[in-house]
Amino acid sequence: LLEKAEKDNVTYAAFLMDILSYEQKKREEKQIEKRLKWATFPYYKTLEQFDLNEQQSMSKKEFNKLKELLWIEQLYNIILLGPPGVGKTHLAVGLGIQAIHQGYKVIFTSMGELIHTLKTEEITRKSQTRMKRIRKADLVVIDDLMFMAINQDEANLFFHLINDLYNTSSIILTSNKAPKEWGELLGDPAITTAIL
């Protein structure tokens, strides 16, 4: 930058602006890098890589509305339902990456990992740190919800987390089971209704 400024006979004020712009750009890149690392996505797939033509149940308008991320500001939640292989996780990851690039804190977790973290929160520092990040995130993505049955204690822990996140974070849930089947997997229709 110094060599370029000397070569182009740039004023001190313009040179200072170039340095500050460069510093700001580098800090933003570092923040995005840090947020991507903390998000723990299973892979890096953006919304641009999402093939909307493969989706029969989502219009271009709905897709663009999701991309705008206004629903995060409004603290809305999204449930992505469908059989395996239709792109629910890809869409959730893509929305998470988009949110990170717009300055939001995002956490991605599978239901199995989340239950394990909730159960060990009182015991391990790693789980405590993870849960602290989940509770402070602007967007929490929970993948493969109801992929496996969980017991009453686990269902209670999950309910309390959803309750903690209510009105503070947006949540994306992906599941290949319809909400009417969640009751039997959670083992308690009342908790299922409260979560929904």
Angle at 67 between CA 84 and CA 96, to 5 degrees: 60
On whether both 14 and 85 belong to a single domain, the answer is no
On whether both 153 and 188 belong to a single domain, the answer is yes
On whether both 6 and 68 belong to a single domain, the answer is no
On whether both 67 and 161 belong to a single domain, the answer is yes
Strands 170-175 and 139-143: parallel
Pick from 131, 146, 138: nearest CA to 106: 138
Q: Indicate the number of domains in the chain.
A: 2
Q: Flag whether pLDDT at 183 surpasses 70.
A: yes
On whether both 13 and 64 belong to a single domain, the answer is no
Rounded to an integer, the average pLDDT of 166-172 is: 95
pLDDT band at 147 (very low <50, low <70, confident <90, very high): low
Rounded to an integer, the average pLDDT of 45-69 is: 91
Continuous H helices in 59-174: 60-68, 70-73, 88-101, 111-120, 125-136, 152-165
Q: What is the pLDDT of residues 73-108, one digit of tens each?
A: 999 999 999 888 889 999 999 999 999 999 999 999
Show the domain range for 5. Answer: 1-38
Counting residues of the chain whose pLDDT is more than 90, the rounded percentage is: 69
On whether both 129 and 64 belong to a single domain, the answer is yes
For residues 142 and 162, give the distance between their C-alpha atoms in angstroms, rounded to a whole number.
11
Mean pLDDT taken over the chain? 91
Q: Is 188 left (phi over 0), alpha (psi -120 to 50) or beta?
A: beta
Q: What is the CATH number of the domain that holds 140?
A: 3.40.50.300
For residues 40 and 56, give the distance between their C-alpha atoms in angstroms, rounded to a whole number.
29
Rounded to an integer, the average pLDDT of 139-161 is: 86
- CB crowding 147-175: b at 16 or more within 10 Å, else e: beebeeebbebbbebbeebeeebbbbbbb
On whether both 5 and 95 belong to a single domain, the answer is no
On whether both 102 and 149 belong to a single domain, the answer is yes
